Amino acid sequence: MNVNPQNVIKHGAPNEIIYIPKGLTIIQRGVRLEHYEIVPTYPMDLYTFQSLLNQIITVPIYYY
């Protein structure tokens, strides 16, 4: 994830996250301050993690 749509457009149209389920959180990771990752808030198996990821709701950002 990236807070700057211009940095991700090469990977496709940018999206804004409008819903993230309990069990997941967004954290800043890495040396670039605009880079974020979605991570679990507690230890979970891959199936549970993927199930929660599938519940994330996004909307396209058209102002790029």
pLDDT in tens, 34-53: 888 999 999 999 999 999 99
Determine contact, residues 55/36, Cβ cutoff 8 Å.
Answer: no
Rounded to 10 degrees, the C-alpha dihedral 37/1/61/49 comes to -40
Residue 1 pLDDT level (bands cut at 50, 70, 90): low
pTM assigned to the model: 0.78
For residue 15, the model assigns a pLDDT of: 83
Output phi, psi for 53, to 5 deg.
-60, -40
